[in-house]
Structure 1
Amino acid sequence: MSPLQLVSLKSEVSRSPLETFVACAHQMLDPATPEAVRRAMEPRLLAQLTALRALGVFELFELRDPALKAWLADELAELLASCGQ
């Protein structure tokens, strides 16, 4: 099974926030992924941001895909603004 097939629309196995984030990001970036699956991955990926930020993941690693990096930077800024930070 490829890493891209690890995350299905159903979550049978509990995964760490990092595993979920990476698997969702891979699926979202794969050009062969249908748009409906990409849209289904978005909320799952975004749900991991708080935990990944708390773990310091974004201080240790840099996202290389420019579109994903910009989108997540916007989402993180919105998250921080809503938390009053």
Structure 2
Amino acid sequence: MTTQFPPTTTPTRPEDVLADGADRTEIDGMTVRKGTVAAFLQNAMKWSDPSTADPERDALGREITKSVSALKVLGVFDVFEVRDERLRALMESC
């Protein structure tokens, strides 16, 4: 599903998506919090690290799966592909 933001003839700036001082926005009926993409990236990198202990990996996996819907509505996976096969399988199970 590709997210279609309002058409524009100029580049989109961060403040066009999320106004200064706002910590969330609604896109296609879903509330998306500021920091969702950055949190996902950090969690995914830790989750994929072989030295991460299983209890921590389980907690990271829960946070990752919580963020998948928001990342889809943002169109992240229309532009980027998850290369880690185990991480991709975790996300596809959502």
Shorter-chain-normalised TM-score: which range?
Answer: 0.5 to 0.7
Q: Per-residue deviation at 1:73?
A: 1.6
**Aligned: 1:22 with 2:12:** no
Instruction: List alignment gaps of at least 5 residues for structure 2.
Output: 1-32
**Which fold has the larger relative contact order, with Cα–Cα distance below 8 Å and residues 6 or more apart in sequence?**
2
* 1:39 alignment partner in structure 2: 58
Q: TM-score, normalised by structure 2?
A: 0.60
What is the SS of the residue equivalent to 1:64?
A: coil
Aligned residue number for residue 72 of structure 2: 53
**Contact conserved, 2:64 with 2:91, CA < 8 A, in 1?**
no
The runs of 5 or more residues in structure 1 that have no matched partner are 1-13, 76-85
Aligned residues: 62
Identity %: 31
Larger radius of gyration: 2
Structure 1 stretches of 4+ with a deviation exceeding 2 A read none
TM-score (norm 1): 0.66
Distance in 1, matches of 2:50 and 2:57, equals 10
More strand by share: 2
- Give the letter aligned to residue 71 of structure 2: L
Query: 1:74, CA displacement in angstroms?
Result: 2.4
Cα RMSD (Å):
1.6
Determine the C-alpha separation between the residues in 2 that align with 1:29 and 1:41: 10
